[in-house]
Structures are given as structure tokens and as C-alpha cells.
Structure 1
């Protein structure tokens, strides 16, 4: 599953990929997928992908979700920096 989500994430990093993924309602599918898979690596990739697929207006309108995503990403960065020290 991690590989599949990773592929979707990589596609979402490109403008054409964003258009195709949004036309397939990928954000809602990722949210549903995330509910059934509690793996932290998958969750992080899903969150990063949803952030890339979101428009600035969607981010402004859904601040709670974006703040949760940013909090979790920052926590991962802090934990990684502690481990490497």
C-alpha cells in the first residue's frame, strides 16, 4: 500500500498530475483510505498528497485539517532531527 500511495504522491507533484488526480476525486478517496489504514508512513504520504491537491482557497477554508497536517509533519521533522543528533 505504501508504494501505491507513494506513486500517487509523486504524480501529485506535477501540474498535469494534479489535474488528473483532482478529476478522479483523489482527495476524498485518500481521506477514506486513511481511515482504514493507520500506518503512520501511509498517513503522512496521504496528508502531503492532499495538501498538494488542495487549492489555496481550500487550504484557507479547511485550516484545521491543514494545521493538523503541518503539526504532524513538523513532529516528524523534529523527531528525525533528534534521532540523527
Structure 2
């Protein structure tokens, strides 16, 4: 199986030129995982967890962050749900 567990996503805080925080850190606490289209074909039940972010933070080597074709983004409530679902499709 080809899964790339990422876990919670974090968008770092932004600061101006004087070091003053202009945008606080954002944490998406759900459990994020990448997989391949082949994995999706083999396990259609995963389609319930597919998300389509506008820009992916992490993709398979050689894929495009803004228009991925080799990376499918999945989102689970938490790590336990991810492990339960992945265990069910193995």
C-alpha cells in the first residue's frame, strides 16, 4: 500500500519585516494522508475521505502542488479513524 501519513497540517504564522506577527499559526487538527490514484482504484471506499485542497503542502516526487495527478489527498477525523479505515482496506 502506498500511503503517506502527514497528520495535522500546520500553516506557519506570518510576520512583517519588523517581526510582528501579522497572521497567527493555523492548525488543521484532522489527520491528513496522501495516497496514489492506484490505491484509490484498489480501494474505492477511500473516496469518502478525498479532499481537494487548492494547493497541496506535500505531494509525491515529481507531482505538481497546484494540479496534482499522482497524489490524492485524504482527510480523516483523527489518527485512530485513519488506522481503522486503512486496516479495513488492507
**TM tier, shorter chain?**
under 0.3
Of structures 1 and 2, the larger Rg is shown by 2
TM-score (norm 1): 0.26
TM-score (norm 2): 0.25
**Which is richer in strand?**
2
